[in-house]
Amino acid sequence: MTKWIALGALAALVLLFIFLPVVAWILVGLVVLILAVVLLVPVGADVAYIGGELRLAARVDGFALQLLPRKPPDPNKKPREKKPKKEKEKKEQPEKPEQEPKPKKKLNLNFTKEEIFELVKKALNGLGKFGKVTVRKFMLHYVAAGEDPYNTAMTFNYVNAALSSLAPVCARKFHVTGGVDVWTDVDFAADKTRIDAEASVTIRLLQVVRMALAVGFGALGVLIKNKLRLRREARLAKKNGPLTEQDTTDTIDIEIQAEERNDMHG
């Protein structure tokens, strides 16, 4: 009996080693498929401000979930009864001497102007990887009004000028698939400006991931360069004394290159 059990266990191990790679690849393929589906699923939001009321709904692949205004609670539903908490007896513990909090380690970056400029440039380039946002619907109704007719007319002109200048930018950044309803008006008899707006936008999570990776890797490259520069400065300061404010990055690089040449010839 023991012999047959041992042979069965050996056969099971052999089959496991044979089919384990196949099962592993199947699992990896399923994980990749699920991630691809999730990243390609369109998500978005429906936002509306009409008649002074704000409405907000989240959208996932055509299904909408209303967030604002919240649905009123069902009056027929009975509230849950809260169970009274049991009070635990506190055990007397000897008072511990107060310990001074340890100072937190601060990340010393000390960016130069060139590094700040490069970091901003990398961030902007990463944001450019986001791609276009799909606009399924856009509506904007603006009626300028106020007590002063001159200010009302000037505000109306400013809004029209802003909309005219933003139109080409929106055409580059947004992909409009639905209707667009935009008009402005002025009402000298009214006291308050009226604004009604509605928008339905859709993106894919792949766009967000691609933008985040582009910004993250770009910023990581700048941080690595900054860390290496600070290490070089610390090494030279230890060797030649503390650096003055007149020391520049170019001078440090020249000294490092001279050091490297001396090491090679030596």
Confidence (pLDDT) at 10: 74
Q: Which regions in the chain score pLDDT beneath 50?
A: 245-246, 248
The full 3-state SS of the chain, as one line of letters, equals CHHHHHHHHHHHHHHHHHHHHHHHHHHHHHHHHHHHHHHHCEEEEEEEEECCEEEEEEEECCEEEEEECCCCCCCCCCCCCCCCCCCCCCCCCCCCCCCCCCCCCCCCCCCCHHHHHHHHHHHHHHHHCCCCEEEEEEEEEEEECCCCHHHHHHHHHHHHHHHHHHHHHHHHHEEECCCEEEEEEECCCCCCCEEEEEEEEEEEHHHHHHHHHHHHHHHHHHHHHHHHHHHHHHHHHHHHCCCCCCCCHHHHHHHHHHHHHHHHHC
Confidence (pLDDT) at 115: 81
Confidence (pLDDT) at 245: 45
pTM of the model: 0.56
Per-residue pLDDT reduced to its tens digit, 157-190:
999 999 888 888 888 888 888 888 999 999 999 9
